[in-house]
Chain A
Protein backbone atom coordinates (compact mmCIF):
# COMPACT_ATOMS: atom_id res chain seq x y z
CA UNK A 1 0.00 0.00 0.00
CA UNK A 2 1.40 3.34 -1.04
CA UNK A 3 2.06 5.79 1.77
CA UNK A 4 3.20 9.38 1.45
CA UNK A 5 5.01 11.20 4.23
CA UNK A 6 5.82 14.88 4.43
CA UNK A 7 8.44 16.35 6.71
CA UNK A 8 8.33 18.70 8.50
CA UNK A 9 4.67 18.98 9.45
CA UNK A 10 5.13 22.70 10.03
CA UNK A 11 7.79 25.23 9.14
CA UNK A 12 8.22 28.88 10.03
CA UNK A 13 10.81 31.00 8.26
CA UNK A 14 11.63 34.69 7.88
CA UNK A 15 10.79 36.40 4.63
CA UNK A 16 13.43 36.06 1.92
CA UNK A 17 14.73 32.70 3.04
CA UNK A 18 15.11 29.80 0.64
CA UNK A 19 13.48 26.62 1.90
CA UNK A 20 12.94 22.97 1.08
CA UNK A 21 9.91 20.83 1.75
CA UNK A 22 10.29 17.08 1.72
CA UNK A 23 8.04 14.30 0.51
CA UNK A 24 8.70 10.57 0.58
CA UNK A 25 6.68 7.66 -0.76
CA UNK A 26 6.97 3.97 -0.04
CA UNK A 27 6.32 2.48 -3.49
CA UNK A 28 8.41 3.74 -6.38
CA UNK A 29 5.89 2.48 -8.94
CA UNK A 30 4.28 5.83 -9.60
CA UNK A 31 2.91 7.50 -12.69
CA UNK A 32 3.56 11.02 -11.50
CA UNK A 33 3.94 13.21 -8.43
CA UNK A 34 2.24 16.52 -7.79
CA UNK A 35 2.74 19.34 -5.38
CA UNK A 36 -0.30 21.31 -4.32
CA UNK A 37 -0.92 24.41 -2.28
CA UNK A 38 -3.88 24.71 0.06
CA UNK A 39 -4.85 27.93 1.77
CA UNK A 40 -6.92 27.71 4.99
CA UNK A 41 -10.47 26.59 4.28
CA UNK A 42 -9.82 26.44 0.56
CA UNK A 43 -9.36 23.84 -2.12
CA UNK A 44 -6.13 22.73 -3.72
CA UNK A 45 -4.09 24.55 -6.32
CA UNK A 46 -1.74 22.45 -8.42
CA UNK A 47 1.78 23.88 -8.37
CA UNK A 48 3.92 21.37 -10.19
CA UNK A 49 3.47 17.95 -11.73
CA UNK A 50 6.46 15.70 -12.34
CA UNK A 51 6.09 12.67 -14.57
CA UNK A 52 7.86 9.52 -13.43
CA UNK A 53 10.37 9.89 -16.26
CA UNK A 54 11.28 13.42 -15.24
CA UNK A 55 13.75 14.60 -12.61
CA UNK A 56 12.44 18.07 -11.92
CA UNK A 57 9.99 20.79 -12.84
CA UNK A 58 10.27 24.53 -12.35
CA UNK A 59 7.70 27.28 -12.14
CA UNK A 60 8.84 30.74 -11.11
CA UNK A 61 10.37 30.55 -7.65
CA UNK A 62 9.34 26.93 -7.25
CA UNK A 63 11.43 23.91 -8.19
CA UNK A 64 10.35 20.35 -7.57
CA UNK A 65 12.63 17.37 -7.90
CA UNK A 66 11.85 13.70 -8.09
CA UNK A 67 14.06 10.72 -7.25
CA UNK A 68 11.73 7.86 -7.96
CA UNK A 69 14.17 5.10 -7.06
CA UNK A 70 14.65 6.44 -3.55
CA UNK A 71 11.02 7.46 -3.19
CA UNK A 72 11.70 11.12 -2.56
CA UNK A 73 10.66 14.50 -3.84
CA UNK A 74 11.55 17.99 -2.69
CA UNK A 75 9.88 21.32 -3.27
CA UNK A 76 12.31 24.20 -3.24
CA UNK A 77 10.93 27.69 -2.70
CA UNK A 78 13.33 30.53 -3.42
CA UNK A 79 13.17 33.93 -1.77
CA UNK A 80 10.09 33.11 0.27
CA UNK A 81 7.35 35.72 0.71
CA UNK A 82 4.53 36.06 3.27
CA UNK A 83 2.11 35.20 0.46
CA UNK A 84 3.72 31.78 0.26
CA UNK A 85 2.24 30.93 3.65
CA UNK A 86 -0.04 27.92 3.13
CA UNK A 87 -0.10 24.17 3.49
CA UNK A 88 1.81 22.33 0.80
CA UNK A 89 0.61 18.87 -0.11
CA UNK A 90 2.47 16.19 -2.01
CA UNK A 91 0.55 13.49 -3.86
CA UNK A 92 1.54 10.54 -6.00
CA UNK A 93 -0.44 8.79 -8.69
CA UNK A 94 0.40 5.09 -8.42
CA UNK A 95 0.92 3.02 -11.53
CA UNK A 96 -1.80 0.60 -12.44
CA UNK A 97 -4.43 2.92 -13.84
CA UNK A 98 -6.30 3.44 -10.60
CA UNK A 99 -6.36 7.24 -11.03
CA UNK A 100 -6.31 7.54 -7.24
CA UNK A 101 -3.99 10.17 -5.88
CA UNK A 102 -2.35 9.32 -2.56
CA UNK A 103 -1.73 12.40 -0.47
CA UNK A 104 0.66 13.24 2.32
CA UNK A 105 -0.58 15.18 5.34
CA UNK A 106 1.11 18.33 4.18
CA UNK A 107 3.61 20.84 5.49
CA UNK A 108 2.20 24.04 6.94
CA UNK A 109 4.48 26.88 5.93
CA UNK A 110 4.50 30.26 7.61
CA UNK A 111 6.66 33.02 6.14
CA UNK A 112 7.07 35.86 8.59
CA UNK A 113 7.47 39.41 7.31
Chain B
Protein backbone atom coordinates (compact mmCIF):
# COMPACT_ATOMS: atom_id res chain seq x y z
CA UNK B 1 0.00 0.00 0.00
CA UNK B 2 0.90 3.66 -0.22
CA UNK B 3 3.39 5.02 2.29
CA UNK B 4 3.24 8.31 4.13
CA UNK B 5 6.11 9.43 6.31
CA UNK B 6 6.35 12.08 9.00
CA UNK B 7 9.39 13.80 10.40
CA UNK B 8 10.28 14.11 13.17
CA UNK B 9 8.62 11.23 14.99
CA UNK B 10 9.14 12.92 18.33
CA UNK B 11 10.11 16.43 19.33
CA UNK B 12 10.59 18.21 22.61
CA UNK B 13 10.81 21.98 22.60
CA UNK B 14 10.73 24.92 24.93
CA UNK B 15 7.65 27.07 25.29
CA UNK B 16 7.66 29.94 22.81
CA UNK B 17 9.60 28.19 20.08
CA UNK B 18 8.27 27.06 16.72
CA UNK B 19 8.23 23.48 15.52
CA UNK B 20 7.90 22.24 11.95
CA UNK B 21 6.49 18.81 11.14
CA UNK B 22 6.85 17.34 7.66
CA UNK B 23 4.45 14.94 5.98
CA UNK B 24 5.54 13.19 2.79
CA UNK B 25 3.81 10.80 0.45
CA UNK B 26 6.61 8.49 -0.64
CA UNK B 27 5.21 6.59 -3.59
CA UNK B 28 2.27 8.60 -4.83
CA UNK B 29 1.26 12.18 -5.48
CA UNK B 30 -1.16 13.62 -2.97
CA UNK B 31 -3.20 16.61 -4.04
CA UNK B 32 -4.85 16.63 -0.64
CA UNK B 33 -3.30 16.10 2.76
CA UNK B 34 -4.97 16.25 6.13
CA UNK B 35 -3.61 17.20 9.52
CA UNK B 36 -5.06 15.65 12.66
CA UNK B 37 -4.47 16.06 16.33
CA UNK B 38 -4.98 13.30 18.87
CA UNK B 39 -5.10 13.65 22.63
CA UNK B 40 -4.56 10.62 24.89
CA UNK B 41 -7.45 8.18 24.74
CA UNK B 42 -9.29 10.48 22.35
CA UNK B 43 -10.13 10.20 18.71
CA UNK B 44 -8.45 12.02 15.90
CA UNK B 45 -9.63 15.58 15.41
CA UNK B 46 -9.19 17.10 11.97
CA UNK B 47 -7.29 20.37 12.17
CA UNK B 48 -7.04 21.36 8.53
CA UNK B 49 -7.19 20.18 4.96
CA UNK B 50 -4.20 21.02 2.82
CA UNK B 51 -4.45 21.26 -0.95
CA UNK B 52 -1.37 21.54 -3.11
CA UNK B 53 -0.87 25.03 -4.42
CA UNK B 54 -3.62 26.67 -2.41
CA UNK B 55 -4.33 27.81 1.11
CA UNK B 56 -5.28 25.27 3.72
CA UNK B 57 -8.82 25.02 4.99
CA UNK B 58 -8.94 25.07 8.77
CA UNK B 59 -11.56 23.51 10.98
CA UNK B 60 -13.56 25.68 13.33
CA UNK B 61 -11.61 26.53 16.44
CA UNK B 62 -8.18 25.92 14.90
CA UNK B 63 -6.01 29.04 14.78
CA UNK B 64 -4.53 29.36 11.32
CA UNK B 65 -1.86 31.79 12.52
CA UNK B 66 -0.72 29.34 15.13
CA UNK B 67 -0.79 26.21 12.99
CA UNK B 68 0.78 27.20 9.68
CA UNK B 69 0.30 24.71 6.87
CA UNK B 70 2.21 24.71 3.62
CA UNK B 71 1.53 22.19 0.85
CA UNK B 72 4.38 23.16 -1.44
CA UNK B 73 4.43 20.09 -3.65
CA UNK B 74 2.41 17.01 -4.48
CA UNK B 75 4.46 14.97 -2.03
CA UNK B 76 5.09 17.34 0.86
CA UNK B 77 2.99 19.23 3.37
CA UNK B 78 4.35 20.91 6.48
CA UNK B 79 2.69 21.93 9.72
CA UNK B 80 4.42 24.59 11.79
CA UNK B 81 3.33 25.09 15.36
CA UNK B 82 4.29 28.68 16.08
CA UNK B 83 5.09 29.95 19.56
CA UNK B 84 4.32 26.57 21.01
CA UNK B 85 2.90 26.27 24.51
CA UNK B 86 2.46 23.26 26.80
CA UNK B 87 -1.19 22.94 25.79
CA UNK B 88 -0.03 22.30 22.22
CA UNK B 89 1.57 19.07 23.39
CA UNK B 90 -0.16 16.32 21.49
CA UNK B 91 0.15 13.63 18.85
CA UNK B 92 -0.06 15.08 15.35
CA UNK B 93 -0.91 12.78 12.46
CA UNK B 94 -1.08 13.57 8.77
CA UNK B 95 -2.80 11.67 6.03
CA UNK B 96 -2.67 11.84 2.27
CA UNK B 97 -5.07 10.92 -0.47
CA UNK B 98 -4.26 10.38 -4.10
CA UNK B 99 -6.80 11.78 -6.55
CA UNK B 100 -9.08 9.21 -8.14
CA UNK B 101 -8.12 10.35 -11.65
CA UNK B 102 -4.51 9.34 -10.99
CA UNK B 103 -5.53 5.86 -10.00
CA UNK B 104 -5.95 6.64 -6.35
CA UNK B 105 -8.87 5.66 -4.19
CA UNK B 106 -10.85 7.32 -1.45
CA UNK B 107 -8.59 5.72 1.13
CA UNK B 108 -6.54 8.10 3.18
CA UNK B 109 -3.07 6.85 4.01
CA UNK B 110 -1.84 7.92 7.40
CA UNK B 111 1.61 8.84 8.56
CA UNK B 112 3.17 7.37 11.72
CA UNK B 113 2.51 10.52 13.72
CA UNK B 114 4.66 13.07 15.53
CA UNK B 115 4.69 13.32 19.30
CA UNK B 116 5.16 16.95 20.37
CA UNK B 117 6.03 17.83 23.93
CA UNK B 118 6.29 21.48 24.84
CA UNK B 119 8.03 22.20 28.12
Residues on B with C-beta less than 8 A from A89 are: 43-44
A100 at interface, CB cutoff 8 A: yes
A41 at interface, CB cutoff 8 A: yes
Residues on B with C-beta less than 8 A from A4 are: 43
Number of A-B contacts (CB under 8 A): 51
For the complex, count residues of B whose C-beta is within 8 A of A. 25
Encode B5-17 as 1/0 by CB contact (under 8 A) with A. 0100000000000
Cα–Cα, bound, A41→B115 (Å)? 8
Name A's B-contacting residues (CB within 8 A): 4, 31-32, 34, 36, 41-46, 49, 89, 93, 99-101, 103-106
Name B's A-contacting residues (CB within 8 A): 1, 4, 6, 32, 34, 41-44, 46, 49, 91, 93, 95, 97, 105-113, 115
